[in-house]
Amino acid sequence: MEKRGVIDTWIDKHRSIYTAATRHAFVVSIRDGSVDLSSFRTWLGQDYLFVRGFVPFVASVLIRAGKESGESSDMEVVLGGMASLNDEIEWFKREASKWDVDFSTVVPQKANQEYTRFLEALMSSDVKYSVIMTAFWAIEAVYQESFAHCLEDGNKTPVELTGACHRWGNDGFKQYCSSVKNIAGRCLENASGEALAEAEDVFVRVIEHEVAFWEMSRGG
């Protein structure tokens, strides 16, 4: 059993909003087969735009990992995530043709714009490494937990959506998220009180943005 760290205490402390993100009605509707496919198409277009904005954020995490971490393995973990984003963008393009979504006409909605602006602010050199790693973990973890839920026993996930669920719900992505969590946890072990407070605030804000993104996808 892995040692419980500060991130686990935050998940417990903010359990209601964490669950709102990882068991959102949009996710549950995929799992139980009741999803409105127009909502899925909305999510597809908006998430494609988000991922294109996420790439520079991960690049900034990669640079920080190379310069500041003191652990060479940090850079390798982030580099693995960076490499998978190339596959992810290609996957989105294939899905777009399958679902007849023209990405060139998709306009970022308010929740998407606000989330992207939040990521841009985190790319400032003033943001502590422990804080940016906490954000990075939280962003990845919400998708991992959400889509893994859609693959659990008893799911009625529509067959045409299982590809999306496997992309983030697979065991390899779970291991990767665990590695990112371990990096963030290690950084937080030695963090100042101020840095811990900043990291907890960023954790909560990521979760709030994730909830808003799901809401937007449902047409909320």
* Statement: residue 3 has pLDDT above 70: no
* Statement: residue 1 has pLDDT above 80: no
210 as an active site residue: the answer is: yes
Q: Decide which of 68 and 103 is more confident.
A: 103
Catalytic, out of 95, 140, 145, 210: 210
Distance (Å, whole) CA 148 – CA 200: 24
* Statement: residue 196 has pLDDT above 50: yes
Distance (Å, whole) CA 75 – CA 123: 16
pLDDT at 168: 79
pLDDT tens digit sequence for 119-139 = 999 999 999 999 999 999 999
- Ranges of beta strands (E only) in 66-170 are none
Rounded to an integer, the average pLDDT of 13-42 is 86
Q: At what angle do helices 129-149 and 162-169 cross, to 10 degrees?
A: 140
Q: Decide which of 33 and 144 is more confident.
A: 144
Nearest to residue 209, comparing CAs of 79, 49, 50?
A: 50
pLDDT tens digit sequence for 81-112 = 988 898 999 989 999 998 999 999 999 999 99
pLDDT at 220: 59
